[in-house]
Amino acid sequence: MPITEVEFVASFKDVDTCPRTQLPEYAFIGRSNVGKSTLINLLTGRKKLAKVSSTPGKTQLINYFKVDDSWFLVDLPGYGYAQISKKRRDEWKKMIDAYLIERENLACIFLLIDSRIPLQKIDLEFMNFLGGAQLPFVLVFTKIDKIKGKSSDENVENIRMAMLEHWESLPQHFMTSATKKTGSKEIIEFIENLNNNN
């Protein structure tokens, strides 16, 4: 079912200040400028819920959105943003890692991958971190409408094959396009199924 109600709760600077709640949480994260804010707006059906910018690094805190009073969408800062100091980058990493590892009601992580380009080392490193910590995650390939030349299926398959050089098997994946409104229904159904089965 489409999302009917979304409420911005607040932004938090560390995991200790995040809401104390039993509602399941679904975190969205990816390399800076991967299209995370655009995807969140697509999923929720709100054009300006998450701030969209051509400048990476706009999300700097842990942003909570309550969806239909039944779960939280958690917007995390992007990783790999180079236009900040090493100290600030380390602070972001510490904040993100602590949230992902310590939140007991984190139901699933949506790891966004840019479908237009080959697998990036930083994306693989983050996948390995999630796998090593045994955190549940799925892959979301973004911007499939912007692929030139090759088909989106072929491009994504090339990325998946590169991942399989390091992984025995891969988690479920989704193909998304904000322009063509592709993939949002499948992601919402996936979340609803998890909520219903827990």
Domain ranges of the chain: 6-197
The answer, as to whether pTM is greater than 0.85, is yes
First CA to last CA across the chain, in angstroms? 18
Using CA atoms, how far apart are residues 156 and 148, in angstroms rounded to an integer?
Answer: 13
What would the pLDDT profile of 12-27 be if each residue is shown by its tens digit?
998 999 999 999 999 9
pLDDT value at 53 more than 60: no
DSSP structure string for 98-117: HHHHH-TTEEEEEEEEETTS
Q: In DSSP terms, which residues pair with 75 in a beta bridge? A: 28, 63
For residues 88 and 43, is the Cβ–Cβ distance under 8 A? no
- CATH superfamily, domain 6-197, is P-loop containing nucleotide triphosphate hydrolases (3.40.50.300)
Q: What is the mean pLDDT of residues 90-107?
A: 92
**Is residue 57 very low, low, confident or very high in pLDDT (cuts 50, 70, 90)?**
very low
Q: What is the mean pLDDT of residues 169-187?
A: 94
Q: Which amino acid is at 43?
A: L
Tell how far CA 44 is from the center of its chain: 14
pLDDT at 54: 43
Q: What is the mean pLDDT of residues 160-186?
A: 95
The rounded percent of the chain whose pLDDT value lies above 90 is 68
Question: Which residues, 6 or more positions from 154, have their beta carbon under 8 angstroms from its beta carbon?
Answer: none
Helix axes 152-163, 121-132, angle to 10 degrees: 60
